[in-house]
Amino acid sequence: MTRRHHPSHLPDERPESTAPLPPPELTEAECRRCGTYIAGLDGRYACGVCGWVNDHSEGHRRLPRADEDPDRPPKGRRRPKQLPSRLPEPGAAPEAGP
């Protein structure tokens, strides 16, 4: 029988931070696809004209973790379930009025 090597527990890569995050910086650039002048936060852009979006890794700062979000609901509280919307059945014609 061969023994399995269990990797040692590595310390957390992101130690808990108690300092608040600095506010995001408004940045401006041209869309790489259509050339429209666009604005974004911390170097992350999305063009409303053509739909181009740059990769999140191109930003100037790291993105905050979920536990750093001030709008995150408290632990133990879940988001309410969404009720499914009722779609018309396929092939069903709308009722005609008088």
- In tens, the pLDDT along 21-73 reads 788 899 999 999 999 999 999 999 999 999 999 998 999 888 888 888 878 87
Rounded Cα gap, residues 40 and 46, in angstroms: 7
Contact 14, 65 (CB under 8 A): yes
Confidence (pTM): 0.51
- Integer CA distances (angstroms), 97 to 86, 92, 94, in order: 21, 15, 9
